[in-house]
Chains A and B, each alone.
Chain A
Amino acid sequence: MLAYIVRRILAMLPVMGIVVVFVFLLVRIAPGDPAAIIAGDYATPENIQKIRVGLGLDKPIHVQFGIYVMNLIRGDLGRSLHSRLPVRQLIEQRLEPTVALAVSTLTFAICLAIPLGILAAWRAGSLIDRAVMVFAVGGFSIPVFWLGFLLIYAFSVKLDMLPVQGYVSFRQGFLPFIRHLILPTVTLGLVYMALLARITRASVQEVLQSDYIRTANAKGVHPITVLFVHALKNAAVPVVTTIGVGFALLIGGVVITESVFALPGLGRLTVDAVLQRDYSIIQGVTLIFSFVYALVNLVVDLSYTLFDPRIRY
């Protein structure tokens, strides 16, 4: 197992290398001039050029790439072209809200989606099953931003139960932390929940047709035990795969949710960096997200061994 883990981590290196080259070139090929954006509307071409030189953007692209890679090897993600703050510092500042949102969304989605999916599979063809599927289709179809606005209108503006926007760190109080996360979590979690519920239902429904389930029922095993111990464990592999693949969905959703609810997270940092052509931040955040995604896939693959003892690395 350890050898497998080491092999997978080493395999991530060329992947990260490709990401580094690809993102570096892509942001520079895309139209837009960070020097012009920084200089502002009324800057003269001479002033814009001075800014370009000051930022090192006038150097040949291969020189810029060389400087970037050398810094990367030293663990330096560079400095924001706009604020001139280290990219690492900016990412660290914004990490907590994004991690909090991602974890709360995952927890919310998994805790609700799996029981719903199991219930739908258990009562396949019934009204409950249809209701869960309608919910799944609806949840997947509703635009995240639209749902966010709806929830803000209902629970913040009209009912005055929850805050409209912003983020409060858990260090400043657990209750305000949770209150500020509820609406963004539900907004983003609904999409994820819909996807997970469907996959869980399909997977559990297939397992419920198995001989060992029939045997367990015949032996008089309690239905809850049959569902959550025998069926779920055997249906877990596709569900866990979906959780891992859905992580990419989560990252995309985080960007929109953070904008709607004004959460100062990595998603907003990325959007702002793209609009402002802040190459350093775009490169840094993309690298981080790629690394985390690769790590999530590794964890998902390793978790298979927990659910299926036949899988060994």
Chain B
Amino acid sequence: MNRTGRIRPLAGLLVGMLLVWAGQAAGQTVRAVMDTEVKYLDPHWTTADISQVHGYMVYDTLFALDEKGQPQPQMVDTYRLSADKLTYTFTLRDGLKWHDGRPVRAADAVASLKRWAVKDAAGQKLMARAASLEAVNDKTFVLKLREPYGLTIRTLAKVFSYVPFIMPERYAVQNPSKPFEGEVIGSGPFMFAAKEWVPGAKTVYVKFKDYVPRKEPASYYAGGKRVNVERVELVVIPDQSTAVAALEKGEVDYMQRPHVDQWPLLRKNPNIRVYQSDVLEMHIHPNHLAPPFDNLKGRQALMLMVNQEDYLRAIAGDPENWRTCYSYLGCKGWLETDAGADLLKKPDLERAKQFLAEAGYKGEKIVVMAPSDIPTTNAASLTTAAQLRKLGVNVDLQAMDWGTLTSRRPIKDPPSKNPGGWHIFHSRSGYEEVKDPWGHAPISTACDKAWFGWPCSPRATKALEELANVTPGTEAFRKTLTEYHVALMENIPYVPLGEYYVLAAYRKDRLSNILETPLPLFWNMVKK
């Protein structure tokens, strides 16, 4: 055989091997379309959901919630609570490493918790009770409390913003008011591929080969985080129709939040599976400092005008996409109760008109801020405007983008005193958030320290504090929960408009073993 005769088969073999390798590499890459881009790399800096998604990829947490909503150890191997319920001793698991190869130490955990608690409401409540939080050695740290706090572990298992991610001490000691400076180094199951990051377009994560998952199977945010893919690309496709077309064609494998008008199309496709990833609750937030909503009758009028089914139909379409819910604390959750919800359950426009008059409303303009760039919130705003008009209210419906709304909602003055003032805006909360009133900012009734709207109810605030120290499942817990919910219903921090579902979609011919969590998680997932 001559030289050419020897080279050709070798070249063919080489090309074949390269093609197989390329195919495998491509096959082990998951491309996911996210709701928004990864902009912020420091999950302690912002409450944006996408930053928490990024956080779950590259960082780990001490505890996490399982599918039953119970806190489970994650980075923690064992923990002990002293007999007087004042001292928690945590020991980290073996084999935890940072992405740069250094071992994870207790000092990293301590610094991270301190940084996280500066901004997180639930963390602040925990640290307000803490006498000290210190590392004893490289694997053990101790939290000493001044008084028992039944929510300690649940707080550390928090799964929504701000999630208590653990980062290296040298980053955690930096100013929490600014994003940390330096590389993104975590101990989570994926590593951030900084060189491939195109903010606004693509964020890439690669498998961290030295990650040691827990032995138990994955369960919601807890359990073993086994990574079965080599690479995850989070992409942004701004237009929904284009994103759905890309999923149908197989250019992407997963889509975080298709709009409700795309669901019928996705459900019809035999290669695509849609699943319920989250439940959201929409609210009407009245300004408790602006007449007539500074008067309880004014807020009760709002509650009486609400027919949840009308709102949910406007927000989410067909009844299969939503459910009514008369609880401030989520339905089908561990805190569900509808104690005191009579006004909400029985809409009555005539009575609402009467209450509005009793609140002193005399025909002045009521400013409703409507974010036209968020379809669901805008739908709720338009429905509220229509309902208010039925009550004879002089509605000033102001359309704006969400960015403008967030800059106006801190204005406490009513519109009569400040042109930027407002009476009503709408927002939504996630399922995990409403089930955690200690961390759910919108439900705070701390008066001028409360969230926008500034609800004020010392009775509700006190009941919430007491609820934190009562053992769940007991009669005392049920009574305190009832007292808390009745106090909320008698103050009306906001008007709950019911719950609607969020779906995610993926190519079922390519992906399997997806964890059906509110935030997309990419461990456990298998790509064929």
Contact = CB atoms under 8 A, between A and B. Distances in A.
B interface bracket (residues with beta carbon within 8 Å of A): 35 or more
A272 B404 contact: no
Contact of A32 (B237, B239, B407): B407
Given A47-B119, A83-B40, A264-B200, A36 B406 contact: yes
Contacts of A164: 242, 245-246, 249, 251
A51 interface: yes
Interface stretch (B172-180, B217-225, B332-340): B172-180
Interface stretch (A4-12, A214-222, A254-262): A254-262
B407 A31 contact: yes
A260 B239 contact: yes
B46 interface: yes
Nearest to A49: B177
A33 interface: yes
Interface stretch (A98-106, A135-143, A149-157, A200-208): A149-157
Contacts of B442: 42
B201 interface: yes
Nearest to A30: B404
Contact of B249 (A38, A145, A149, A160): A160
B407 A152 contact: no
Contacts of B235: 166, 262
B16 interface: no
A53 B178 CA distance: 9
Interface string A109-151: 0000000000000000000000000000000000001000100
Given A152-B242, A157-B245, A40 B46 contact: yes
B410 to A, nearest CB: 6
Contacts of A37: 402-403, 406
A166 B247 CA distance: 13
A56 B406 CA distance: 19
A287 interface: no
Name the residue among B179, B236, B403, B433 with the largest chain A CB count within 10 angstroms.
B403
B373 interface: yes
Nearest to A85: B199
Interface in B1-49: 37, 39-41, 45-48
Interface string A66-107: 000000000000001011110000100110000000000000
Contact of A272 (B37, B249, B407): B37
A303 interface: no
A275 interface: yes
B198 A264 contact: yes
A269 interface: yes
Contact of A41 (B47, B198, B236, B407): B47
B245 A156 contact: yes
Nearest to A51: B177
B251 A166 contact: yes
A296 to B, nearest CB: 25
A40 B45 CA distance: 9
Contacts of A262: 201, 235-239, 242-243, 246
A131 B274 CA distance: 46
B403 A276 contact: yes
A36 B410 contact: yes
Contacts of A152: 241-242, 245
B406 A264 contact: no
B177 A50 contact: yes
Given A42-B121, A163-B251, 20 more contacts: A32-B407, A36-B403, A38-B48, A41-B427, A42-B161, A48-B410, A55-B178, A82-B39, A149-B241, A157-B248, A157-B249, A165-B237, A260-B239, A261-B242, A262-B239, A262-B246, A264-B200, A268-B200, A268-B201, A268-B238
Interface of B: 37, 39-41, 45-48, 51, 119, 121, 161, 175-179, 198-202, 235-239, 241-243, 245-246, 248-249, 251, 373, 400-404, 406-408, 410, 427, 433, 440-442, 449, 451
Interface of A: 31-33, 36-45, 47-48, 50-51, 53-55, 80, 82-85, 90, 93-94, 145, 149, 152-153, 156-157, 160, 163-166, 259-262, 264, 268-269, 271-272, 275-277
Per CB-CB distance, the 10 closest pairs between chain A and chain B, nearest first, are: A40-B47, A264-B201, A50-B177, A33-B407, A54-B178, A32-B403, A262-B237, A31-B404, A42-B441, A36-B406
8 contacts: A32-B406, A40-B48, A42-B47, A47-B177, A82-B39, A262-B235, A262-B243, A264-B200
